[in-house]
Amino acid sequence: MKSNRAHAGRQSGTNVPARTRRLAPFAKIIVPMLEMVPTHAGERLLWAGGLWLMLVASWVTACVWVDEDARRVFGTSMPWSLLSVTAGALLQVFTLQYGLSGRWAFALVFPIGLLTYLHRRDAHVSPPERILTGRMAAQMILIIAAKLGMERTARKWLAPIIVFTDDTPAAKTVVFLKKDGRAAAVSSDDDSESFRALRDAERLFGTAIARRATDIQLEPKADGNTHVRCRIDGIMQSGEILTGRSGPAVISALKVVADMNIAERRRPQDGTFGVLVDGKSFEVRAATAPTSYGEKMAVRLLDSEGGIIRQGLDGIGLETVVIQSLRSIIHQPHGMLLVCGPTGSGKTTTAYAAISEIDALCRNIVTIEDPIECRLPNISQTGVNPAANLTFAGILRSLLRQDPDVILVGEIRDRETAEIAMQAALTGHFVFSTLHANDAAGSISRLLDLGIDTTLIQSALSAVLAQRLIRVLCNQCKEPYAAPSEFVKGMNIPATESITIYQKKGCEACQGKGYKGRTAVSELIVIENRLRDLLVTKPSPQTIRTAAQKAGTQTLRDSAMVQVLRGVTSIEEMVRVTKSQNDV
């Protein structure tokens, strides 16, 4: 019997794994020690060690993120990545020296250091990219609430604090295109300066377009950094700051895309390229100029797809009466329509929108532009090129031999161009053009100042449209209030009648500005018989303005007042846009 048990023991011993047999001596030591530790002490050790491991994992993750984010925001990871690694390492040594009780110092210092970095990086980025904001905190709360099935309750609780909207800027997929349509390519090495600069440029464009910017300015300053500013709704707004070498590197990357000479920084240069943002195409005009602190770059974004233009005159925001008058004018067999206003007032867009309402398949439409801002289907477009002696006047002479029905002259800059355009309007063509002037009456005086014969103006000119772009109040936050007595009096409304208008406030949807988007206010002077007779005497702008108002012309200020009454804009915006008018 004893031999059988011994045999069974030897047989079972052969089935025990070798690893278990090797650990058996250690088990004889460890098991009694564990039996000596109270259960609650073991639990405390487990929780303390687990918390310490979580802190270490969080520290490593934060170090990696700070390194990548600092490269993107500041152009270099130093000294932030070094500080984060060093601080964490010292805390680890402190913890090992004084035991797991030192984890509380780690848990306190680690978040303070991270918050310090977040505060500094938020000062260098645009508002949509900031992390320490109420909106970001609300989004984190919503994520946690969604995991717990309480998202609807959380949104209801957060509604009085923050406005949730889908219109906030989001990450954009940006691709730069050369003139020939090829994608701009650089080295695929993530550590190369050119690669990082192009990624920074893509991020800048994605953010700017998400904020509805029309212009981007990269301006070097005395502090050695490059300040980025965007023109949004006609107003320049500050963006992020590119520190150190990152600013000049971004400018050089854009110069490469625009086929400029990156070695030349002492002379102004111009270039063009394209950009695709989430599949939407934009044409970009870039210009550089030397400054006392380095090279500056200005970029203009043009919607090459012409989203507004495709809607015709209805998409600009003009009043119904003005649109009806314009439509009756532009469908005449011959004549001339002038659109005037300062730079950035939407003159070319209005001319494009008017042309888009003409059937391009039944009529031969040609344009002369400097440069071509929007590609129009079934229309022949020619760009001015002074280097090749292609001026407005020279191209216009040649195009008149191409049997056109409608001609768009991008801008009247001199007497020769004006005379040729007006002669074309008298010989069976309808001519569109733009002119820099403060109002419609001023544009007629400008033609007289150029030396154009009054009889030519009388016969050729059909109408003059002056316009401005005025900011629209944000529908999410605009506040109603009783109209001031001065405004009511200016609108010829009885003082006893209560008028409610709106003012700006500011919210997340409009990035705190109180305005979102723009619309047009206009002044249309139709050249009728009484005004034609007046032109013989070469009248002053004030005389023309008075005669036009007697004929029923609504001034720019009157048009803006109507938008205030409708709750579209504010009194402050009306005054800002129309303060240059002489009739108020």
pLDDT tens, N- to C-terminus, the chain (584 residues)? 444 444 444 444 445 555 455 555 545 555 554 455 444 555 555 555 566 677 677 777 878 877 777 776 666 667 777 777 777 777 667 666 665 555 566 667 777 777 887 777 777 665 556 777 766 677 677 677 776 667 667 766 765 555 444 444 444 688 898 877 788 765 555 456 788 888 889 889 988 998 889 999 999 998 888 999 999 999 998 888 887 788 899 999 999 999 999 999 999 999 989 898 887 888 899 999 999 999 999 999 988 766 678 788 888 888 999 999 999 999 999 999 999 998 888 898 999 999 989 988 899 999 998 878 788 888 999 988 877 888 888 899 989 988 999 999 989 989 999 999 999 999 999 999 999 988 899 999 999 989 999 999 999 999 999 999 999 999 999 999 988 887 877 776 766 677 889 999 888 888 888 999 999 999 999 999 889 989 888 898 899 999 998 888 899 999 999 999 999 999 999 999 987 654 43
Q: Which of 247, 282, 303 is the last residue of a domain?
A: 303
Does 563 fall in a domain?
Answer: no
Same domain for 187 and 119? Answer: no
- Beta strand 430-435 with 335-340 is parallel
CATH number, position 235: 3.30.450.90
pLDDT for the residue 583: 43
* Number of domains observed in the structure of the chain: 3
Check residue 327 and give its pLDDT: 93
Q: Specify whether 336 is located in the same domain as 212.
A: no
* 109 shares its domain with 227: no
- In a shared domain, residues 447 and 326: yes
Do residues 180 and 274 make contact, with C-beta atoms less than 8 angstroms apart?
Answer: no
Chain mean position to CA 573: 20
Instruction: Out of 303, 330, 348, pick the residue that ends a domain.
Output: 303
* Residues 200 and 253 both lie in one domain: yes
Shared domain check, 536 and 431: yes
Residue 500 lies in a domain: no
Are residues 382 and 299 located together in one domain of the fold?
no
Task: Report yes or no on 192 lying in a domain.
Answer: yes
* Beta carbons of 564 and 470 less than 8 angstroms apart: no
459 and 337 together in one domain: yes
> Can you name the residues that pair with 213 across neighbouring β-strands?
232
Residue 428 sits in which domain range?
309-469+520-556
Q: Is residue 483, in this structure, part of any structural domain at all?
A: no
For residues 207 and 299, membership in a common domain is answered with yes
In terms of domains, do 546 and 426 share one?
yes
Does residue 582 sit within a domain?
no
| 398 and 384 assigned to the same domain | yes
* Structure confidence at residue 537 (pLDDT): 86
- Tell me, yes or no, whether 150 lies in a domain: no
pLDDT value of residue 174? 85
Together in a domain, 357 and 296: no
Range 390-424 burial, b when 16+ CB lie within 10 A, else e: ebbbbbbeebbeeebbbbbbbbbbeebbbbbbbbb
Residues 364, 391 contacting (CB under 8 angstroms)? no
pTM above 0.75, yes or no: no
pLDDT for 518? 92
The per-residue pLDDT for 153 is 73
3-class SS of residue 169? coil
Cα-Cα-Cα-Cα dihedral sign, residues 146, 152, 156, 162: positive
In-domain check, residue 552: yes
Q: What is the CATH number of the domain that holds 552?
A: 3.40.50.300
Query: Going by C-beta distance under 8 Å and a sequence separation of 6 or more, which residues neighbour residue 499?
Result: 482, 483, 487, 488, 491, 493, 565
Residue 7 lies in a domain: no
Range list of β-strands (E), 403-527 = 406-409, 430-435, 461-473, 479-482, 500-503, 515-526
Chosen domain end from 277, 303, 329: 303
